[in-house]
């Protein structure tokens, strides 16, 4: 039997239906559709397949991106000498792509297109009738806002469900940087903020809500602008107005996770720079969202694995590590008090976290690590205390706590003190005399050279007495 040669990839692709080949193109080509344009000039199969491609990554300057050509700038924007190249690329995209549903403008490569180039990119996006998602990282945002608003008024972007403006990336090696321009110019921030607010008036409320909360990665440009100018009151009032006046849906969206994740809702980059007023305004905003139907248990965030309870518990757990100098001082304690109150607020509104038990970094893990620290606090609310006790058992580890300068004469008082700590945590401690008599010998055993291992004493007595029955599962 004669052998048959194995067909090459070109012959194989040529046999594929166009819609199937389009998926192969998306997978194999990835971001570099500029290269694909050249391939399609000599391949009818590829050219037909382009009409079915659903994801488009804008990359007209791929040679510059790859370092083949040096980049030229006009001020902080990509030079106008590239205008023709961008225009030609966008024209080819409009002509050859017919079914694009998702598009991004470059993916945050650190250079910002100028206004004319931005106009071409937005015009390209507006030409796709089935577009549902548009991610903007690298376009000049004020020009993008104005162009999108104009297209919406003209009846385009009718199927758009998500519009994501990310805060601009920084450039390295001293290159011109639009982000630095925004950070250093209050006037530029004001112009851009007004451009956003004009755009908001033309968009559906749910899309505006998404932009307001920072988009997919919760690092959006609009909250970035207001944080820089400490306009949290404005940001919060706009958020509530979106819900009350424009009907933005907070029930189906993981709005609390997006609000709480990394606690970015307070206008200061460092947690311990937040003053009392910031903290109270943040807390009142969470209250307002819950009052308006925000789901306190809805997962979201990175890969949909975060819950509101986990967001707050994670932040609190990181703030009780006193080995970090930033976690010491009155402002750090104010943050901790606010986070404790927020946990209680979520629980009072029926919040649950049903993530897999034992998940590393999950809610239950955070409770295990900080539970006894919380139980020992006077401001630990009753409902939070019950929640902690449900997650703890008698064998749970207490953190090591050493007390120096302890004499034998001190042990009677300590043997009365420690049982009372356990009693406050919900353990089944006997009466004072019995507790002292049981705890005293353990204290003597664990006293060495004037140093008492208090954590070991607590662990021992917790294992002996166990939790009060009604607090057990």
Domain ranges of the chain: 54-249, 264-392, 402-471
The residue that leads in pLDDT, 460 or 187, is 187
pLDDT tens digit string along 150-163? Answer: 999 999 999 999 99
Rounded to 5°, angle at Cα 375 from 370 and 381: 115
Which residues are CB-neighbours of 458 under 8 A, at least 6 positions away? 372, 398, 401, 418, 421, 422
pLDDT of residue 29: 47
What are the b/e assignments for 328-356, b being 16+ CB within 10 Å?
eeebbebbbebbbbbbbbbbebebebebe
The residue that leads in pLDDT, 424 or 91, is 91
pLDDT of residue 150: 98
pLDDT of residue 317: 83
Does the pLDDT value for residue 9 go beyond 70? no
The answer to whether the beta carbons of residues 226 and 193 sit under 8 Å apart is yes
For range 255-280, the mean pLDDT: 66
Number of Cβ within a 10 Å radius of residue 225: 21
Among all chains, which residue has been given the structure tokens 């030409």? 127
Percent of the chain with pLDDT over 70: 78
What are the backbone angles phi and psi of residue 440, rounded to the nearest 5°? Answer: -55, -50
The answer to whether the beta carbons of residues 70 and 104 sit under 8 Å apart is no
- What whole-number distance in Å separates Cα of residue 423 and Cα of residue 388? 14
Bridge partners for 57 per DSSP:
104
For range 69-93, the mean pLDDT: 91
Average pLDDT across the chain, whole number = 81
> Can you give the pTM of this predicted structure?
0.73
pLDDT of residue 2: 39
**C-alpha pair distances (Å), 281 with each of 237, 243, 274, 379:** 11, 18, 11, 20
pLDDT of residue 451: 93
Does the pLDDT value for residue 305 go beyond 50? yes
- What whole-number distance in Å separates Cα of residue 302 and Cα of residue 275? 28
pLDDT of residue 52: 79
pLDDT of residue 356: 55
Locate 417 and state its tokens. Answer: 């003190």
pLDDT of residue 267: 43
Rounded to 5°, angle at Cα 467 from 466 and 472: 125
For range 326-334, the mean pLDDT: 76
Does the pLDDT value for residue 302 go beyond 90? no
């Amino acid at each position: 039997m004669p052998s048959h040669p194995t067909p090459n990839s070109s012959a194989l692709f040529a046999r594929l239906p166009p819609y199937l080949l389009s998926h192969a193109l998306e997978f194999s080509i990835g971001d570099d559709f500029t290269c694909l344009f050249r391939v399609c000039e000599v391949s009818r199969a590829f050219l037909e397949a382009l009409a079915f491609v659903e994801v488009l990554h804008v990359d007209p300057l791929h040679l510059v991106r790859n370092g083949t050509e040096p980049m030229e700038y006009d001020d902080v924007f990509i030079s106008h000498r590239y205008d023709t190249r961008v225009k030609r690329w966008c024209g080819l995209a409009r002509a050859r792509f017919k079914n694009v549903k998702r598009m991004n403008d470059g993916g945050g490569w650190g250079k910002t297109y100028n206004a004319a180039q931005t106009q071409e990119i937005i015009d390209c996006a507006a030409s796709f009738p089935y577009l549902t998602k548009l991610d903007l990282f690298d376009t000049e945002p004020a020009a993008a806002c104005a162009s999108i608003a104009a297209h919406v008024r003209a009846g385009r972007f009718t199927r758009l469900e998500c519009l994501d403006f990310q805060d601009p990336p920084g450039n390295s090696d001293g290159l011109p940087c639009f982000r630095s321009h925004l950070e250093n110019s209050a006037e530029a921030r004001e112009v851009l903020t007004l451009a956003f607010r004009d755009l908001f008036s033309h968009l559906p409320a749910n899309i505006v809500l998404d932009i307001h909360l920072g988009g997919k990665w919760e690092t959006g440009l609009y909250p970035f602008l207001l944080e820089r100018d400490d306009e949290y009151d404005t940001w919060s009032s706009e958020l509530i107005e979106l819900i009350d006046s424009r009907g933005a849906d907070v029930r189906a969206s993981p709005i609390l996770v997006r609000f709480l994740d990394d606690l970015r809702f307070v206008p200061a980059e460092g947690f311990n720079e937040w003053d009392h007023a910031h903290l109270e305004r943040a807390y009142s905003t969470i209250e307002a969202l819950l009052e308006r139907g925000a789901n306190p248990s809805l997962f979201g965030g990175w890969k949909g694995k975060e819950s509101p309870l986990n967001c707050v518990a994670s932040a609190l757990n990181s703030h009780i590590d006193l080995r970090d100098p930033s976690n010491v001082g009155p402002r750090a304690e104010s943050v901790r008090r606010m986070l404790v109150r927020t946990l209680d607020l979520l629980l009072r509104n029926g919040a649950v976290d049903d993530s897999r038990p034992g998940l590393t970094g999950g809610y239950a893990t955070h409770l295990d690590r900080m539970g006894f620290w919380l139980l020992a606090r006077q401001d630990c609310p009753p409902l939070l205390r019950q929640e902690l006790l449900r997650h703890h058992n008698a064998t749970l580890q207490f953190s090591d706590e050493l007390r120096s300068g302890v004499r034998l004469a001190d042990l009677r008082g300590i043997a009365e003190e420690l049982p009372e700590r356990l009693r406050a945590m919900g353990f089944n401690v006997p009466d004072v005399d019995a507790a002292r008599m049981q705890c005293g010998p353990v204290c003597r055993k664990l006293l060495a050279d004037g140093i008492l291992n208090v954590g070991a004493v607590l662990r021992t007595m917790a294992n002996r007495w166990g939790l009060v029955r009604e607090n057990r599962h």
